[in-house]
Amino acid sequence: MTPLSEEIKNLIRLEGPISLERYMTIALSDPRYGYYMTRDPFGAKGDFTTSPEISQIFGELLGLWCADLWIRMGCPAAISLVELGPGRGTLMHDALRAMKSVKGLMSAVRVTLVETSPTLRDAQRQLLEPSGIPIQWQSDVASLPELPTLFIANEFFDALPVRQYQRSQGQWHERLIGLNEQNKLIIGLAQEPERAITLDAIEGSLLERCLIGEAIMDELATHIAHVGGVGIAIDYGHTQSGLGETLQAMRGHDYVDPLNDPGEADLTTHVDFQRLAAIALRRGNTISGPILQADFLEALGIRQRGERLQKSATVAQANAIALAVNRLTDRSPKQMGSLFKVLCFRHSSAPNPAGFNE
Ligand SMILES: C[S@@+](CC[C@H](N)C(=O)[O-])C[C@H]1O[C@@H](n2cnc3c(N)ncnc32)[C@H](O)[C@@H]1O
């Protein structure tokens, strides 16, 4: 029993069943006990690992991808670099180190980190402060600098709460979290149907919607339409909208029941890239992708960079580099190279982004 499971149960006793979106919001972001608010969940000792934590090359390539865009945008005197959900700050650390090799870029770049977790903000500050580059933090994407902008979001959208709907007797009903007679959290269906969803599907089908992620994407695309620039979202997810449940809970690198021990396990879902792309298009952005992470990283030269690093490495380090490169680009089913997709959205006047073979 976690402190949050008690709080959630009390809330349900008081107000009745709650949406999955509300459950996930509490489990992930409760100021006192929320999963991300209280811990650093990354790495072998944590619950999961991410691409920037697997290899420095990931952040370096994204840094050079930004540098290349800056140059082809005509080297603006000031450019806003915004990372959403920066975790430990590793990606930004590696990206800035690579960007330093480009003359004039460091004096132009203004870094904003969008992060809700105080624990992770501390980790980001500790890692990035020695670089001497001024950084500002924000909790959301409102009031971003009014400058041409480059957005980076790696494994950000998958961490946002979703709603789920189930097809029952020819209508969609929202799935709600309630309590059974044994005082256990269970999933049930709202009595009232969700008439706004008109999609047809067979009985029992499940539909997930990340309305919070869609609202954020709308803000990012609107910002780009207003100030110019380019955004990139990298995440596990599907290129085409579909049906089915993708919610998963991870604790100690193992899958667990999402309703057990809220606040102690990471809750994620697969990102619906088709819906994100449609939102950006609606705001007048131009889209590239989504493409496989393997294709993107290989086009940017992950193998060549790996070989270069291996030249000054010990045998053990060289093996670790090869393993990391293969892990990030493995195209086998359910491996990172194919499971992860890369979507780019940009102002219609922005240059074509590298890595998309356009
Ligand atoms: C799965 S981690 C990814 C971390 C990092 N991008 C990486 O690849 O290692 C999700 C990150 O998003 C942050 N986060 C979650 N919800 C957020 C929100 N609504 N607004 C801003 N950051 C959020 C978490 O605190 C964490 O830093």
Look at ligand 1, atom 14, and give the residue with the nearest C-alpha: 85
> What is the position in ligand 1's atom list of the atom closest to the CA of 266?
1
Number of domains in the chain: 1
* Residue closest by Cα to atom 18 of ligand 1: 116
Q: Which domain holds residue 280?
A: 3-165+207-300+340-346
Q: Is residue 182 part of a domain?
A: no
Q: What pLDDT score does 252 carry?
A: 86
- 120 alpha carbon – ligand 1 mean position (Å): 9
Q: Please return the burial class of 131, using the count of CB atoms within 10 Å of its CB with bins 0-12, 13-18 and 19+.
A: middle
CB 63 less than 6 A from any atom of ligand 1? no
Read off the CATH number of the domain in which 222 is found.
3.40.50.150
125 belongs to a structural domain: yes
The DSSP-derived string for 269-316 is --EEHHHHHHHHHHTT-EEEEEEEHHHHHHHHTHHHHHHHHHHTS-HH
In a domain, 80, yes or no: yes
Residue 146 and residue 215 in contact, taking contact as beta carbons nearer than 8 Å: no
124 neighbors 92 (Cβ within 8 angstroms): yes
Closest Cα to atom 21 of ligand 1: 115
Assess if residue 320 is contained within a domain.
no
SS3 23: helix
Q: Report the pLDDT value the prediction gives residue 31, as an integer from 0 to 100.
A: 94
Indicate the DSSP class of residue 45.
T
Q: How far apart are CA 247 and CA 264, in angstroms?
A: 15
Per the listing, tokens 């132009």 go with 108
Ligand 1 proximity of 336 Cβ (cutoff 6 Å): no
114 lines ligand 1 (CB under 6 A): yes
Contact 175, 187 (CB under 8 A): yes
What is the pLDDT, as a whole number, of residue 270? 97
Ligand 1 binding pocket includes 157 (Cβ within 6 Å):
no
Reading the chain (358 residues) residue by residue, the pLDDT tens digits are 789 999 999 999 999 999 999 999 999 999 999 999 988 888 777 888 899 999 999 999 999 999 999 999 999 999 999 999 999 999 999 999 999 999 999 999 999 999 999 999 999 999 999 988 999 999 999 989 999 999 999 999 999 999 999 999 999 999 999 999 999 999 999 999 999 999 999 999 999 999 999 999 999 999 999 999 999 999 999 999 999 999 999 998 899 999 998 999 999 999 999 999 999 999 999 999 999 999 999 999 999 999 999 999 999 999 999 999 999 999 999 899 999 999 999 999 999 999 998 7
Q: Which atom of ligand 1 is nearest to the CA of 53?
A: 9
Count other C-beta atoms under 10 Å from residue 129's C-beta.
Answer: 12
Residue 154 in 3-state DSSP? Answer: strand
Examine residue 311 and state whether it is found in any structural domain, yes or no.
no
**Cβ distance 52 to 60 under 8 Å?**
no
Within a domain: residue 105? yes
CA of 145 to the centre of ligand 1 (A): 20
Please tell me the residue having the least CA distance from ligand 1 atom 27.
87
Does any domain span residue 142? yes
Residue 251: partners with Cβ closer than 8 Å, 6 or more residues away? 47, 261, 264, 265, 266
Q: Is the CB of 85 under 6 A from ligand 1?
A: yes
Supply the pLDDT for residue 157.
98
Q: Could you tell me if residue 202 is inside a domain?
A: no
Distance CA 244, CA 29 (A): 25
Ligand 1 site-directed mutation target among 117, 121, 297, 327, most atoms within 8 Å of CB: 117
**H or E, element range at 138:** strand 135-138
